[in-house]
Amino acid sequence: MYSSDATPESSELGATQLPSAEIALAMLEALSTPLCLRDQKSRYVWANAAFQSAFGRARHELLGKTDFDLLPPEQALLEQMRDSRVFQEGQHVFFEDQAGLGSTVIGLSGWHIPIRG
């Protein structure tokens, strides 16, 4: 839950204000859902703790990498195709898959969502 220190007198927006980027990032970091951000070259530029845990990698081991560094080639290709579609069309894409990580098969589902700015 987000709580603002703004009072109606101190804000033209009234009681509803968006959290600062710092607070929003802290909220995303604390979620138990794995989240990441990738740039237009599909490189990881941010990953929350749940994402790091899911891949068994520290943040510094993820940043700058692509799916080809983390996933089997066929799964990485699917991810890159989804990213391309999102960047070209500007629409979100939902997916459900299975992927092998070593000797373990995991179920994957999620969204590829374009974020601008």
pLDDT tens for each residue of 54-88 = 888 999 999 999 999 988 898 889 888 888 888 88
Distance CA 17, CA 11 (A): 9
Q: What phi and psi, each to the nearest 5 degrees, are found at residue 74?
A: -65, -35
Mean pLDDT, residues 97-117 taken together: 74
Strand pairing class (36-38; 44-47): antiparallel
Task: Write down the pLDDT at residue 65.
Answer: 95
**Whether pTM exceeds 0.85:** no
Check residue 4 and give its pLDDT: 47
Q: Which residue has the higher pLDDT, 102 or 67?
A: 67
Given a cut of 70, whether residue 11 has pLDDT beyond it is no
